[in-house]
């Protein structure tokens, strides 16, 4: 075999076997599930954090209403105010409890954390929110 023919055959084989054509597509397809799972987990963390924010805000609203209400209807006003600002997705699994003792009003709110889409499925874990304030003087 001539040296030129051998060189030509070698270069032809190198093009066929050493080509990176399509490699990026294959690597992307391999990484796509990892990227999707990472985005889903990040979204779930956002929902968890938002639920903590909602629970704290609902407890603050409840105790604020409880301190301003008449002593006879204080707990009912407190519980209603705790639920008022929540959207339907979080209100369905919410529990609001208000207590008055020694001139101090406290509110405890428990919200369920939704799974990916609020309003469809909730985790069996609840997120707590707690607030307290001194009763306002009534004249």
Number of Cβ within a 10 Å radius of residue 92: 14
Residue 102 has pLDDT above 70, yes or no: yes
Residue 1 has pLDDT above 70, yes or no: no
Q: What is the DSSP letter of 71?
A: G
Nearest CA to 130 among 40, 32, 56?
56
Interior CA angle at 10 toward 8 and 12, to 5°? 70
Contacts of 13 (CB under 8 A, 6+ apart): none
Q: What is the pLDDT of residue 97?
A: 92
Share of the chain above pLDDT 90, in %: 37
Which sequence spans correspond to the domains of the chain?
A: 22-134
Contacts of 90 (CB under 8 A, 6+ apart): 51, 54, 111, 112, 114, 118
Nearest CA to 105 among 128, 124, 79, 125?
79
Q: Kindly indicate the confidence band of residue 93, based on its pLDDT and cuts at 50, 70 and 90.
A: confident
Mean pLDDT of 37-45: 95
């Amino acid at each position: 075999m001539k040296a030129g023919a051998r060189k030509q055959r070698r270069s032809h084989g190198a093009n066929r076997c050493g080509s990176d054509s399509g490699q990026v597509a294959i690597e992307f397809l391999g990484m796509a599930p990892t990227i999707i799972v990472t985005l889903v987990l990040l979204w779930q963390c956002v929902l968890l954090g938002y639920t903590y924010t909602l629970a704290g805000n609902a407890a603050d609203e409840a105790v604020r209403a409880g301190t301003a209400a008449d002593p006879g209807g204080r707990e009912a006003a407190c519980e209603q105010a705790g639920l008022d600002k929540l959207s339907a997705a979080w209100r369905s699994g919410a529990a609001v409890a208000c207590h008055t003792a020694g001139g101090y009003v406290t509110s405890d709110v428990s919200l369920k954390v939704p799974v990916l889409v609020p309003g469809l499925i909730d985790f069996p874990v609840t997120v707590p929110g707690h607030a307290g304030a001194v009763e306002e003087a009534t004249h």
